[in-house]
Chain A
Amino acid sequence: MTTLTLRGWLLAEVPRSKGQARCQRVFISWLAFKRNPVAVIGLLIIASLVMVALLAPWLTSTEALELNLAKRLQPPGGEHWFGTDELGRDILDRIIWGSRITLYIVGLVSIIVVPIGLVIGVVAGYIGGWVDNFLMRLTDIFLAFPRLILAMALVAALGPGLENAVLAIALTTWSPFARIARAEALTIRNSDFILAARMQGVSTAGILTRHVAPLCMSSVIVRLTLDMAGIILTAAGLGFLGLGAQPPTPEWGAMISLGRQYLIDQWWVPTMPGIAILVVSLGFNLLGDGLRDVFDPKSGGNQ
């Protein structure tokens, strides 16, 4: 009964308060999201990733992470579902622990990158003039830099390690976001509704935060979800060059990198973490697509 009334409240045709209106919007979005099976799969994948990361200590046995040279390179089987690696460690256990590192990397990078890119891009695109010029030159300098090279140089300068790798990736990832946000802002800034808002005397900051930035979000989110895999792989690339996570940290990318020489004879060593990356990127991408379909104010009418 309560659900029914709650449902009724959430779906009431005329909301009685601002709060109800907001809840309604979220709920309706959720309903739309639920109808998109692909997006739900994405959500499930990410949710299970988070669960696995949280429950890692209970899902793994402690001795499986220790070296056991007598049991190295064992194929997947009853005892080791994903097989063992070049030093005899259980690959599944390592992947489970690695999920924490993956979440840490993508989470931290997104938190740093999106606000920087959005602010710079929107301001440049909307205000234009020398501000645009200055900000875009700055962006260009970072864009024009070979990305992995800049990341490598930064990590090398800061010292190898996971935290420094995250920082370096963030510093090299924001520039495309700024460009995309700017491109969007450029097309939006002469729209009728922006002019209308301006006529009503809404301040520049208000227009930027309430009108321009939200409209740029769709492109930024698409780009961010697409970049999630890229971020994980860049971290892996750094790990591969000895600049990212240091052994024996079970970072997935580093696991592939160190295991890649076994691909031909012991395919599972690099393939299992590869599949882990594939599945998680897939999850992020599906989820991002779903979110985009639901929240994008421009294509919203399509649903």
Chain B
Amino acid sequence: MKKIKITLLGFAAALMLVTGASQAATPKNTFVLAKDIADIITMDPAEVFELTTGEIIANIYDRIMMFEPEDLQNLVGGVAESWEVSEDGKTITFKVRSGLKFHSGNPVRAEDVAWSLQRVVKLNKTPAFIVTQFGWNADNVDSLVKATDNDHLQITITEEFSPGLVLNALSAGIASVVDKKLVMSHEKDGDLGYDWLKSNSAGSGAFSLKTWKANEIVMLQAHKGYRHGAPGMDRVILQHVSEPSSQRLLLEKGDIDMARNLTPDQVKGIEGNSDIAVDGHPKGTIVYMAANAGHPILGKDKVVQAMRHLIDYDSMADSFLAGQFVVHQAFWPAGLWGALETTPYKQDVVTAKALLAEAGHADGFELTIHTLTNSPFPEIAQAVQANLAKGGIKTNIVTLEGKTLWPKYRAREHDIILAHWSPDYVDPHSNADAFANNPDNRFEAKKTGHLTWRNAWSDDASNSLAIKARNELDLDKRKQQYLELQAMLQKKGPFVIMFQQNEQVARRRNLDGFVSGSNFDLVFYRNVTKR
């Protein structure tokens, strides 16, 4: 028995040794934010298309055109100091700012800017469509995008596009300016440095990438010679914490400065804590439901219209979504140029039932709702299930991880999808192209980038208006056309648009200056300061 006691004592002693953790706040020169960063798969701006990396590369690379944290409404030149649009609207000449330096110390030349765009087109990764839609391809891009001298860049588009749209597109992640000399020194087998840039950085932005350990940590280092001056923090650390409750505990203890993924009810829970402030940032992400028009019942406009009337948007937005989602019913997010902000629908079971009866489905029918496994989608799906039941529509819910859900969606194998969407760049065309335009509805055409195609829906009026607005040179007319298009899609089409995200960010009160704009990649760390 003695032996047991000794062993136990030894263990108790070992436990005592480790107790008494130090109450360490984060260092003064370091900004630590907790976030679920499991979506990161690459750091190459020619390939980045995930939410987290979209934000990270926005802080590493300056783009040709940019929104700056000081003014998120107006598009300004980033690396470009000024630009001139030709008479026909097809050629734009940029003057590159002088004296800019990459993190490596290399100067930023017009050649770097041209090469960065050429690289995007030649690598042809997923986001490349943002610029290849202008008519560029691997063969012609060298002549259509070129440096005319040391500080002038000339681009020419061959398709019909509004120059405003082109400038907006050049503020997307693919317009990040990459250090050609540095990247090419790491080139392997003509890969344009693709392999190396996946986990390294070569930009001229406020920060450079120091470490990326997947599912663990991303560390950014300040670029002291940044054109707007040195950033407020020497280091920015994104710590991977997938569990919102853990984020909250870390924040309340002061082990992190900011929690990015708190749920609405957790935000309510920390309201009383005087060390913590919560800021709301309206985001461009919308939550929508889509009905497969290839389905014999869902293909009827009146059925979808009935669904719009059945859903109780307000009670969701006031309860489990409170603070983080607001009711929004058009495809372009509120707060952005050209958005339609009316919300004509609220729950009206009588109208819905009448519509269903007109469509010949007064007795109801049965469907499957596919949605994502992460909160709040299972909750929304259950609420929608209860709402639709009031019209006699019986639904089964199937929750799937994104990577399993998207193949189903892209193959048109769903009845109803409940999902989210955020714009690729800040121009209404980004969403209009997805929600309103369907260039070819045949199954073999595989226009999977268009949500219209995925839902097997095509409409001539909607298609032509989307194209017309895309090409319109006059800004006011263009805006009117988008408003008209959104109103049109509120009444027909496969989409029931429900909510728009409002990101709630909880921070320690001694930290200031975090800026988060309407799009996922409009997040800026450089003005962050600590007291």
Q: A interface vs B, CB < 8 Å?
A: 66-67, 69-70, 72-73, 86-88, 156, 160, 241-242, 246-248, 258, 260-266
CB distance from B391 to the nearest CB of A (A): 15
In the docked arrangement, what's the CA distance between A69 and B322, Å? 12
Where the two chains meet, the residues of B that have a C-beta atom closer than 8 Å to any C-beta of A are 244-245, 248-249, 263, 265-266, 268-269, 315-316, 318-320, 373, 375, 378-379, 381-383, 385-386, 396-401, 404
Q: Which of A72, A73, A87, A241 counts the most chain B CB atoms within 10 A?
A: A87
Are A72 and B245 in contact, with the CB atoms below 8 A? no
A69-B316, A261-B266 provided; 11 other pairs, C-beta below 8 A? A67-B382, A69-B319, A73-B265, A160-B400, A246-B399, A261-B244, A261-B245, A261-B375, A262-B265, A264-B248, A264-B249
Residues on the B chain within 8 Å of A260, using CB:
245
Question: In the docked arrangement, what's the CA distance between A242 and B379, Å?
Answer: 13
Cα A52 to Cα B383 in complex, Å, equals: 28
- What are 7 A-B contacts with C-beta separation under 8 Å? A69-B315, A69-B318, A69-B383, A242-B373, A246-B396, A248-B397, A262-B265
Contact of B379 among A70, A86, A263, A265 (CB under 8 A): A86
Report the minimum CB–CB distance from A46 to chain B (whole Å): 31
With contacts A73-B265, A261-B263, A266-B265 taken as known, whether A247 is within 8 angstroms of B320 at the C-beta atoms is no
Interface pairs A-B: 5 shortest CB-CB: A242-B373, A265-B269, A242-B399, A69-B319, A67-B386
Collect the chain B residues with CB atoms within 8 Å of residue A67's CB.
382-383, 386
CB distance from B100 to the nearest CB of A (A): 45
Tell me the bound Cα distance from A266 to B268 in angstroms: 11
Whether B404 contacts A156 by the Cβ 8 Å rule is yes
CA gap between A184 and B463 in the complex, in Å: 73
Partner of A87, one of B244, B245, B263, B382: B382
Q: How far is the CB of B373 from chain A (nearest CB, A)?
A: 3
Give every chain B residue within 8 A of A86 (Cβ-Cβ): 265, 320, 379
The majority secondary structure among interface residues of chain B is helix
Contacts of B378 in A (CB 8 A): 242, 247, 258
Cβ of A264: which chain B residues have Cβ within 8 Å of it?
Answer: 245, 248-249, 266, 269
Residues in B neighbouring A248, C-beta threshold 8 A: 382, 385, 397
- A66-B386, A248-B397, A265-B269 are known contacts. Are A72 and B375 too (CB-CB below 8 A)? no
Known contacts A242-B401, A247-B382; A261/B265 CB under 8 A: yes
Q: Are B320 and A72 interface neighbours, CB within 8 A?
A: yes
A264 to B247: give the CA distance in the assembly, Å: 12
| Chain A residues in 8 Å Cβ range of B316 | 69
Chain B residues within an 8 Å CB radius of A70: 315, 319
Residues of B near A72 (CB, < 8 A) are 319-320
Counting residue pairs across A and B whose Cβ atoms lie within 8 Å, the total is 67
Question: Which residues of chain A are within 8 angstroms of B404 by Cβ–Cβ distance?
Answer: 156
Give the chain B neighbours of A241 by CB distance below 8 A: 373, 401
Known: A69-B383, A73-B265, A241-B373. A247 touches B399 (CB 8 A): yes
Residues from chain B with Cβ under 8 Å of A246 in the complex: 396-399
B residues less than 8 Å from A160 (CB atoms)? 398-400
In the docked arrangement, what's the CA distance between A258 and B375, Å?
8
Q: A265 with B385: in contact, given A69-B315, A72-B320, A242-B401 (CB under 8 Å)? A: no
Which single member of A73, A258, A265 contacts B266 (CB below 8 Å)? A265
Least Cβ distance of B506 to chain A in Å? 13
Residue of A88, A156, A264 with most chain B CB atoms under a 10 A cut-off:
A264
Q: Is the CB of A265 within 8 A of B383?
A: no
Asked whether, in the complex, the Cβ of A242 is within 8 Å of the Cβ of B400, the reply is yes
In whole angstroms, what is the CA distance A261 to B397 when docked?
21
For B269, list chain A residues within 8 Å (CB).
Answer: 264-265
Q: Which residue of B lies closest to A269 (CB)?
A: B265
Q: Measured between C-beta atoms, what is the minimum distance from A88 to chain B in Å? A: 8
Chain B residues with CB under 8 A of A258: 375, 378
* Alpha-carbon distance between A231 and B392 when the two chains are bound, in angstroms: 37
Q: Which residue of A lies closest to B314 (CB)?
A: A69
Residue in A closest to B404 when the chains form the complex, CB atoms: A156
Q: How far is the CA of A272 from the CA of B348 in the complex (A)?
A: 36
Tell me, in angstroms, the Cα distance from A260 to B266 when the chains sit together: 11
Among A160, A261, A265, the most chain B Cβ lie within 10 Å of the Cβ of A261
How far, in whole Å, are A87 and B319 apart by their CA atoms in the complex? 9
Nearest residue (CB) in A for B249 is A264
Given the known interface contacts A156-B404, A246-B399, A260-B245, the answer about A265 and B320 at a Cβ–Cβ threshold of 8 Å is: no
Say how far B388's CB is from chain A's closest CB, in angstroms.
12
Residues of B within 8 A of A265 (CB): 265-266, 268-269
**Residues of chain A contacted by B386 (CB below 8 angstroms):** 66-67
* Nearest chain A residue, comparing its CB with the CB of B381: A247
CB–CB A69/B266 < 8 A? no
Contact of B383 (CB < 8 Å), options: A87, A156, A262: A87
